[in-house]
A and B are shown apart, each in its own frame.
Chain A
Amino acid sequence: QSALTQPASVSGSPGQSITISCTGTSSDVGGYNYVSWYQQHPGKAPKLMIYDVSNRPSGVSNRFSGSKSGNTASLTISGLQVEDEADYYCASYTNRYTGVFGGGTKLTVL
């Protein structure tokens, strides 16, 4: 159960768009449309931002969107805001009936 691969950090300026990638294998990301994304601010519990690759829970801004191609899923944040600065984690269901998270990406809004 290797962790999914995410870039350690990304950055952007307010108003810009950024994309965070999440690479797995055909046993997890590529095999199912069951990828989710979480936002975590320091000292806080994670918050679900995207589920089932591209669905937004009620209350999550439409500036957040998700997609997938092959073994790589992506989270795009458009119109960056200062409050978007946080750690972001992808997660996926696996063929062993388990879950797996990515290593996390620190988003800095310059």
Chain B
Amino acid sequence: QVQLVESGGGVVQPGRSLRLSCAASGFTFSNYGMHWVRQAPGKGLDWVAVISYDGSQKYYADSVKGRFTISRDSSKNTLYLQMNSLRAEDTAVYYCAKRDSSGAPPGKVNLDFWGQGTQVTVSS
């Protein structure tokens, strides 16, 4: 069965960096686009970034562009989110999620499987 397991969250000071990982299993990882979505405490879902099935296309929300980088390693079935210059407003649970198909465009928010999330807290 499909499993997505996020890791790498924690408490970090403003301006510092953190790298999140999402280990995928139960499906052919290299065939599907992947998204990161976050949710601040008591708030709604916030789309963060997408990477196409082959890693050739990457798109970001304006709020993280230039600070966050999405990547994937199909040899390890793992999705990453490198987060630099972290701010208090980046505090959230970060979810990785799988696209429902390899079909274009990769930014379609048809996310059929989600991980349980990893908490990121940015605080001094």
Contact = CB atoms under 8 A, between A and B. Distances in A.
Contact of A101 (B105, B109, B116): B109
B44 A36 contact: no
Chain B interface size band reads 20 to 34
B67 interface: no
B60 interface: yes
Interface centre among B63, B106, B114, B117 (most CB of A within 10 A): B114
A72 interface: no
A93 B107 contact: yes
A99 B95 contact: no
A89 B107 CA distance: 17
18 contacts: A34-B108, A36-B108, A45-B116, A45-B117, A46-B45, A46-B95, A48-B100, A51-B100, A52-B110, A57-B100, A57-B112, A89-B45, A93-B107, A94-B107, A98-B60, A99-B50, A103-B44, A104-B45
Interface of B: 35, 37, 44-47, 50, 57, 59-63, 95, 100, 105-112, 114-117
Given A46-B95, A47-B114, A93-B105, 15 more contacts: A34-B108, A36-B111, A38-B111, A45-B114, A45-B115, A48-B110, A51-B100, A57-B100, A91-B109, A97-B106, A98-B47, A98-B60, A98-B107, A99-B35, A99-B50
Interface of A: 1, 3, 34, 36, 38, 40, 45-48, 51-52, 57, 87, 89, 91-94, 96-104
